[in-house]
Structure 1
Amino acid sequence: MEPTTVLEEIEMAMEAAIEHMGVEFGGVRTGKASPALVENVTIDVKSYGSKMKLRELAVITTPEPRQIMIQPYDATTVDDIDRGIREAQLGFNPVNEGKALRLPIPELTEERRQEMVKRVKTISEDTKVRLRTCRKEGMDKGKKMKNENVLTEDSLRDFEAEVQEITNKYVKAVDEATAAKEADVMTV
């Protein structure tokens, strides 16, 4: 095991955590309609006998700034999608038009915006936990390499400093993305 390879693995794992956070942030409501608000809702499709993500069942568009249009590939799944969105408790009331659903996006109240900010902070903290886990794994691999005489005492210290530097870089990125998303949510 080479130290540079381990550092690359750590960086890739941290990058994946940041990407996941971005996907999670996409599902947090701001004041405008976005397909990301509903695309990951799990729908129990009775006729198929399975659970699927909404994005696998329908085309999701935003014809207007305050409206999401859901057009299922199979019109028989409209009622399942309607029920799934209501059960997800996203605060939307779908309007069933037979072959499609319209989701009017209500204006966010100050209280609801505060709830969204809390959700953003929770996602942010979960991402930081993932980053710390990656750092710990890196530190453990460094100690293992020292025990296998791949690293000396000094090079272990340097390796651990590099791991911490990478971690600090990604924690800063999380903080910046969180601040930007909070500002977006709180903007009326």
Structure 2
Amino acid sequence: MKLDEAESTMQKTVESTQRSFNTIRTGRANASLLDKVLVEYYGTPTALKSLANITTPDASTILIQPYDKSSLNLIEKAISLSDVGLVPSNDGVAIRLNIPPLTSDRRKEFVKTAAKYAEEGRVGIRNIRRDVLDTIRKQEKAGEISEDQSKDLQDKLQKLTNKYTEKIDHLLTEKEKDIMKV
């Protein structure tokens, strides 16, 4: 694995961490809260966003309008069983999710969840670094690259690792501000 491949993979890890952050509630309605909700549709787990139009008409409401009206109850059940923590309200045409204001305890829980996601991202980046480092050392041992080239590559790899770890730390700081903002 070359350094540019490592950088690309590290960037994907950062993007994955960002998507995980998007599923954490902040007190404002956000359609990405429902990204992980799967609906049992005709016996197949299907992503909610492919079954319905999800909008946020105001800061405290998420409106879900299914493309197939017969799936309304299935969607309602899936949301109730998910870990979103919101109670769906079915009016026969659409489902509304009211986003209540977060308590300070709930905000602290969400900050902990965000920290967990950030740590998973950092671990992913360190794993990428470890794999590339192993490759560099094998190449040096096999005589494919010199000791100096090996040291240079290892230094560049460490700089890449630091850069992407800092990006995750920055995303975490932003998410924590967002969660704690009343």
TM range (shorter): over 0.9
Distance 2:173 2:24 in 1: 14
The residue number in structure 2 matching 1:100 is: 94
The residue number in structure 1 matching 2:20 is: 24
Superposed, 1:77-156 pairs within 5 Å as: 77-156=71-150
- Structure 2: tracts of 5 or more residues without a match: none
Superposed CA deviations along residues 35-72 of structure 1, whole A, max 9, x for unmatched, are 00113211122xx1110111111110000110000011
> Structure 1: which amino acid aligns with 2:7?
E
Asked if 2 retains the 8 angstrom alpha-carbon contact of 1:78 and 1:98, the reply is yes
Distance 2:162 2:173 in 1: 16
The residue number in structure 2 matching 1:168 is: 162
The residue number in structure 2 matching 1:51 is: 45
Distance 1:39 1:149 in 2: 48
> Structure 2: which amino acid aligns with 1:6?
K
Tell me the TM-score normalized by structure 1. 0.94
Asked if 2 retains the 8 angstrom alpha-carbon contact of 1:40 and 1:55, the reply is no
Distance 1:158 1:77 in 2: 58
Superposed CA deviations along residues 127-185 of structure 1, whole A, max 9, x for unmatched, are 00000000001101101221332211111111111100100001111111101100110
- Structure 1: tracts of 5 or more residues without a match: none
Q: Look up the SS of the partner of 2:13 in the other structure.
A: helix
> Structure 2: which amino acid aligns with 1:92?
L
The residue number in structure 1 matching 2:30 is: 34
Tell me the TM-score normalized by structure 2. 0.97
What is the number of equivalent residue pairs in this alignment? 182
> Structure 2: which amino acid aligns with 1:177?
L
Q: Look up the SS of the partner of 1:40 in the other structure.
A: coil
**Once the 2 structures are TM-superposed, how far is the Cα of residue 91 of structure 1 from its aligned partner?**
1.8
Identity %: 36
> Structure 2: which amino acid aligns with 1:124?
A
Distance 1:167 1:113 in 2: 30
Let me know the Cα RMSD of the aligned residues. Answer: 1.0
